[in-house]
Amino acid sequence: MIKRKGETMNFEEIQAKARYDERMKIRKRIQERGTPMYDLFEPPLKYLIGEIMALNEEWCLNHPDTYGYDTILDHGFNANQLKYIEALKP
């Protein structure tokens, strides 16, 4: 919803905006870290790896205080995903 000048956001809109901003930060970090691995592959494996990255974004957004969160943000993937992807390298 577009606000007119001088209108303020209600609590739900503020929360939605904060969640959106957090999602974009997570998405950017996963893309930056995961793209080098993603670029090593050709379709259809590239699509699968992109889907894993998208699911990792959702997982990090919903589970920020759990094991693996930092690994995903540092590498784009968790440790097990990296092992599986490495095994698929051409």
| Cα–Cα distance measured from residue 4 to residue 72, given in angstroms and rounded to the nearest whole number | 39
Residues 6+ apart with CB under 8 A from 83: none
Q: Provide the token pair at 88.
A: 């698929």
Residue-wise pLDDT tens for the chain (90 aa)?
566 666 777 888 888 888 899 999 999 999 999 999 999 999 999 999 999 999 999 999 999 898 889 999 999 999 999 999 999 987
- Determine how many CB atoms are found less than 10 A away from the CB of residue 46: 13
Cis peptide upstream of residue 44 (ω within 30 degrees of 0): yes
